[in-house]
Amino acid sequence: MEIIDFLFAEEQLFTTITLLVLIALLIGNIITDKLKKYEDIDANTATALMDDDNLIILDVREKKERKNGYIDGDMHIPLGDVKNQFNKLDKNKSILVYCRSGSRSAHIAGLLTRNEFENVYNLKGGIQAWKRAKMPIKT
């Protein structure tokens, strides 16, 4: 009882609310991570996937970003167009999605899995991680 009184005392209220919000965000993040149906992979694991002829490498960056380099043999569909161009993607193939840093591609990987694509991978760290791993870049 004393702990509850302490946590909800007027001078502690802001700290208590902040703590509760942080705990809720942490729990939400853990649950989201467990429920996602795609796999985050690093550059080395991605290269192993590329030996498979049934792999689509999907770049979801904007056209101007590709001037800095892209992965050879990829398919380019900017983030905003992916949903309208599902018909260009084969649901029977594995899909490796990448962007600049891995955030946009994670969003698209989730979108793909929610739309019945099964073997979906997100390049963790995006093209930046690919470059850091000294993997080949096409310009």
Q: Which residues have a catalytic role annotated?
A: 99
Contact assessment for residue 96 and residue 84, using Cβ atoms and an 8 Å cutoff: no
User: CB neighbours (10 Å) of residue 82?
Assistant: 20
d(CA 125, CA 104): 10
User: What 3-state class would DSSP assign to 81?
Assistant: helix
d(CA 33, CA 90): 25
Residues in the chain: 139
**Residue 60 tokens, joined:** 């979801």
Amino acid identity for residue 21 in this structure: V
15 burial type by CB count under 10 A (0-12 exposed, 13-18 middle, 19+ buried): exposed
